[in-house]
Amino acid sequence: MHPAAQPADSISLISKVSCRICQSELLPILDFGKMPLANAFLDQKDFEQEYFFNLATGFCSRCFMFQLLEQPAPEKMFHQAYPFYTRSSQRMVEHFKQLAETLKKFLYPGAFLVEMGSNDGTLLENFQGTGIECMGIEPSANVAAEALKRGIPTQIDFFGPQVAAQLAKQSDGADVLVAANCLCHIPDLASVFSGLGLLLKKTGVAVFEDPYLGEVLAKTAYDQIYDEHVFLFSVTSMSEMLSSYGFEIFDLEPQWTHGGSMRYFICRKGQREPSASVAAWLAKESEAGFKTLKPYEEFRKRVEISKVQLLECLENFKRQAVPVAGYAATSKSTTVLNYCGIGPELISFISDTTPDKQGKLTPGSHIPVVPPEIFHQANPKAAVLFAWNHAAEILRKEENFKASGGKWIHFVPKVQID
């Protein structure tokens, strides 16, 4: 049985309506309704036990954090059968190589680097043979096993004060803690920062990289909202949150990854001079109304329109008896498919390179996931690009699809056929 497919009464659901950072009441923004776990790909025999929760977001008008109202327990999402491997995109492998070069500016032979949410070791492998001591902390045993196979020290665990205290005891403390696409998954940030307080050297640096709320709003990328992403950070909310835990941002760098991310360079309060870009980003967000409900309400309206347009587009293909495929069974696709009510009647199959997903059905929508070879053999006339964040990589490698008359269906930033 899939670890996520447990009887409903055994589920420990964390249900919150108050802000996870400052405990103020959350203002509801968007309710997607009943939603499965984004990465709970399943077999037909598990349908009856499929787990659903209510996917809805709220905004805190006190600390400005955009967050889920409810999130399933971390152990339900991250376990021995978590099917996302960082290595599944070549461009991400290159991105992490470049991130490693950036981190090396804060490191030296003998220094200690800890990665939170180290997945299959794609980032840490860049430090092999450098003399820099590394430790990955990763709760999903199957992806951690890939890192261990490559000789990358990895502890299978959730990061928190206990793990941090144990690492601090075994070292003189960490020079750098890095977490890419990880912090936004963790509901209990108080425990992360209490751990960071124990582990990080006084002058140490933490580097976080997460999908940026500003890009989600600008691109109407509502598919970035799913069970795993409990927070979508802005510079404003990140800065408020860090301040409450004794840390601050000293630099920022926007990234192209995951449709638009932000890299935050963090230190203990007062340890480093913040760069001018910190104040500039805070001012930019303030002008854009990030502390008010307005941009989030406008976002909700655009999301509703996007749903109607995507459904119209797929139903048009169906009326013309043109079968449509999906490209990449991403976590994000679970939100789109279930929110829009798209099933195998509108998308016959989804091509994905991950062996763990192939042969399974998509969460909630139950569309078969097939290897890319089937996509190439079937040569469909149209395909929804679910991994829109990897468009550059995919459109290049799938040139033949378009050359042979195939149409890409995009839905971010808006629904269009190309």
Query: CB of 396: closest distance to ligand DWN in angstroms?
Result: 10
Site for ligand DWN in 280-339 (CB under 6 A): 328-332
Query: CB of 288: closest distance to ligand DWN in angstroms?
Result: 24
Query: CB of 189: closest distance to ligand DWN in angstroms?
Result: 16
Site for ligand DWN in 49-88 (CB under 6 A): 84, 88
Q: What is the number of residues in the chain?
A: 418
Cα three-residue angle 209-215-219, rounded to 5 degrees = 145
Q: Does 228 bind ligand DWN (CB under 6 A)?
A: yes
Nearest to 159 by CA among 121, 197, 127: 197
Interface residue with ligand DWN, options 160, 385, 390, 412 (CB under 6 A): 390
Helix (H, G, I), strand (E, B) or coil at 55: strand
Q: How many angstroms from the chain centroid is the CA of residue 200? A: 25
Percentages of the chain per state (helix, strand, coil), in multiples of 5: 40, 25, 35
- The count of other CB atoms within 10 Å of the CB of residue 25 is 11
Closer residue to ligand DWN (CB): 46 or 393: 393
Could you give the CA distance from residue 365 to residue 39 in angstroms, rounded to a whole number? 12
Q: Does 238 bind ligand DWN (CB under 6 A)?
A: no
Interface residue with ligand DWN, options 118, 181, 234, 365 (CB under 6 A): 181
> Binding segment for ligand DWN among 42-50, 100-108, 272-280, 352-360 (CB under 6 A)?
352-360
Q: Does 21 bind ligand DWN (CB under 6 A)?
A: no
Interface residue with ligand DWN, options 57, 71, 89, 306 (CB under 6 A): 89
Could you give the CA distance from residue 417 to residue 313 in angstroms, rounded to a whole number? 9
Whole-Å CA distances, 360 to 1, 370, 388:
13, 8, 22
Site for ligand DWN in 106-145 (CB under 6 A): none
Could you give the CA distance from residue 6 to residue 173 in angstroms, rounded to a whole number? 39
Interface contacts to ligand DWN, rule CB under 6 A: 84, 88-89, 181, 228, 258, 328-332, 352-354, 357, 387, 389-390, 393-394
